[in-house]
Structure 1
């Protein structure tokens, strides 16, 4: 993938070579942060920032092994800057700690870091004590914030932990004066109205109808479910991030997020987030021993018609102590992509419902959480033997019938396309999150 750095923001700053400064020094610019614009980032942090998407409204820097960005001498995990309409800085978010990138911290280390940053910020604010806010989201997750409001900028220090005091993240957000949230809980809720979502539908030169969903780059973390939910909630106006959502669903940075855990978390927290959750479809053939057995029979029937090799179900069954266990991973790895796609396309009724739901949802301005399971060789999957992933369906083309989707991987992944048949053949789950003031599609 091509490098999409901040170079285009300020050509005059391209050739200046200044060693990366600590963000503690950046803070000392105070009101100058908002007037100097993005050119200073190019100058002071050369080669660090990349655009999050093609709108070039946000840029991101991640921690590197050499010469990392720092705050008060300690490496930052991530920095995200948002530009305003004049291409000047509108906000800066510093990830001081997050479990997904930095691993587990014990409570003492977490509290020590919080105290250090809090003391530094109080000193920066002239000894002023911060406002303290908190919000419970359910499932044991609780958010906290300290806010310093100064004439030059607002500082919002946020952190999160569970009822078991397990640390999740610490972030520092820099905002223009007066823009810090008055109420932390209210800032997490969707602000989208029931009547204006359809106004968000855009149309490109090819006639495709699509929604612009705020981009998030999940990085190397297994946070595709959390990142998907964050993007949709931000589309609805919520001020939330994937680390909060990951905590709600007890995500693992390596193993990812259990879809069922995320469903439970969303159902527990949906009223606090101002949204309602609806599951529209779930591929049930892989959920039980009998279901996979039926799938294998359907697969062999399709394989015979396509003159492909058939599979023996018992080759994937292991018996231990009179208990039969089906080796699902090995079975999925053995599937031929053409045959498996043919099996999925036999379900004409659900396929037609899928196409109808996509069109109705997008026309209503509602994106869809799209869980996929692809075998090797299927379009939209990975190079692995099989892959499970969550992405967003954010559009369709009325003429070709193609599905438009987006992955949470940053620049270049905002708007991708495949045929409806290709999309259906890898569909595992399909859900929606909609503002609570609006009826969910498909009801």
Structure 2
């Protein structure tokens, strides 16, 4: 059996989370492994881990996130990319998820199948040694998005679940093997002695009718959905899969962005194509008991018509026209949008496509009234926005409300608590829209 020190070396070398792990500022999270963690209050958590640098993902302080170099468990034996601590309504930790490896945050293209499986094996041995209890093989979880494999340790008052997943073969892209993620989940053992679904609990899924209770009506005219969980996608191009994770969690389905990244073949740099995202969500409908619907999707003919409307308005306004003609069989959408004037595009879309503009507003209001958040594809950089991490290009965010008095939509980006609730004129929102989708419970 390898020692904790040699396992640390294996992780630092193979995974690449901390190439020079000994030089990274140390941010140990060992107190989270203590038996008393489940009785800790949010204030106590804040005080104890302030020096380890974390962020609350919402004003409700129902989730805390650690991210960046130096994070580890068990005296540095297990380096981490990220840790998410979820709190109960009573304000105590309810479950914890530690990302040991994930494809989006770990840039290592040399981790082949043999080394990946060796890493899982060494983690299993190290955790068994630290807990002083043997593991039980859980096998594949057929209820998860990717049927991740795992091992379980029962050491009351906690249950531990080591999960891992990889892509075996992708012939279309010439990939024989691609590691996806390794994570450790921890949850309190229920009073009956059974773990909360072995630290991967599926919360009671809400019914479609019950979602209306989340809709709030304010005196200023705001109508919005409360209690939509926040997720911070970090610096990677995971906006679409992070948005999907938020909707799934809102419905009580424990699917995270790394699982969705595997299903949707998400790239860290270029993100997720709308077609692959929609295809991925459709694949999961039956397994996760949701329905996926399209309000507006990207279509070539509609895009060409939009460019035509834009050029007519640009000519009238004495602005430069743009071309949607393919080059070598490829349409460079970002380039076309980048050449547009945002105000001209807003005018052309709202004035020359009034039926589409009306449908957009009615659809948004109708879904929000039902308590259904809207997955909103946009092109950033066309119209001014407050400082955001991504200045231009394709992006996905959630529409969670509207205000008819002020003609605004209320939306949220998956970048942490400061992006939880923002607003924008509905005309601006329609101008930058590239797609509108939603998921809802089957019952």
Q: Deviations over 1:126-158 (max 9, x none)?
A: 33332514234799x431222222222111212
Query: Judging changes above 3 Å, is the alpha-carbon distance between structure 1 residues 189 and 174 closer, same or farther for their aligned structure 2 residues?
Result: closer
In the alignment, which of 365, 374, 393 is matched to residue 368 of structure 1? Answer: 374
Q: What's the counterpart of residue 170 of structure 1? A: 182
Q: Deviations over 1:288-325 (max 9, x none)?
A: 6xx6654444223212333x3232649x775xxxx676
Q: What's the counterpart of residue 241 of structure 1? A: 256
- The answer to whether structure 1 residue 350 and structure 2 residue 356 are counterparts is yes
Q: What's the counterpart of residue 48 of structure 1? A: 53
Runs of 5+ unmatched residues, structure 1: 1-18, 438-443
In the alignment, which of 327, 334, 340 is matched to residue 335 of structure 1? Answer: 340
Counterpart CA distance in 1 for 2:257 and 2:220 is: 33
In the alignment, which of 368, 387, 396 is matched to residue 390 of structure 1? Answer: 396
Counterpart CA distance in 2 for 1:183 and 1:434 is: 26
Q: What's the counterpart of residue 147 of structure 1? A: 152
- The answer to whether structure 1 residue 209 and structure 2 residue 223 are counterparts is yes
Query: Judging changes above 3 Å, is the alpha-carbon distance between structure 1 residues 349 and 379 closer, same or farther for their aligned structure 2 residues?
Result: farther
Give the Å deviation of 1:436.
Answer: 1.4
In the alignment, which of 156, 162, 165 is matched to residue 157 of structure 1? Answer: 162
* Contact 2:402–2:408 (8 Å) recurs in 1: yes
Q: Deviations over 1:260-293 (max 9, x none)?
A: 1111111112111111111111243xx26xx665
**TM-score, normalized by length of structure 1?**
0.82
- SS of the aligned residue for 1:169 comes to strand
Q: What's the counterpart of residue 300 of structure 1? A: 311
* Contact 2:223–2:401 (8 Å) recurs in 1: yes
- The answer to whether structure 1 residue 79 and structure 2 residue 90 are counterparts is no
Runs of 5+ unmatched residues, structure 2: 1-24, 170-176
Q: Aligned ranges for residues 262-281 of structure 1 at < 5 Å?
A: 262-281=277-296
**TM-score, normalized by length of structure 2?**
0.82
| 382-391 vs 334-343, greater mean Cα deviation | 382-391
Query: Judging changes above 3 Å, is the alpha-carbon distance between structure 1 residues 20 and 327 closer, same or farther for their aligned structure 2 residues?
Result: closer
Q: What's the counterpart of residue 440 of structure 1? A: none
Give the Å deviation of 1:425.
Answer: 1.0
| 389-398 vs 123-132, greater mean Cα deviation | 123-132
* Contact 2:185–2:199 (8 Å) recurs in 1: no
Give the Å deviation of 1:69.
Answer: 3.6
Query: Judging changes above 3 Å, is the alpha-carbon distance between structure 1 residues 206 and 106 closer, same or farther for their aligned structure 2 residues?
Result: farther
* Number of equivalenced pairs: 403
Give the Å deviation of 1:382.
Answer: 6.6
Q: What's the counterpart of residue 220 of structure 1? A: 235
* Contact 2:165–2:179 (8 Å) recurs in 1: yes
Q: Aligned ranges for residues 248-327 of structure 1 at < 5 Å?
A: 248-284=263-299, 287=300, 294-306=305-317, 308-311=318-321, 313=323, 327=332
Counterpart CA distance in 2 for 1:382 and 1:98 is: 24
* Contact 1:192–1:236 (8 Å) recurs in 2: yes
In the alignment, which of 425, 430, 438 is matched to residue 432 of structure 1? Answer: 438
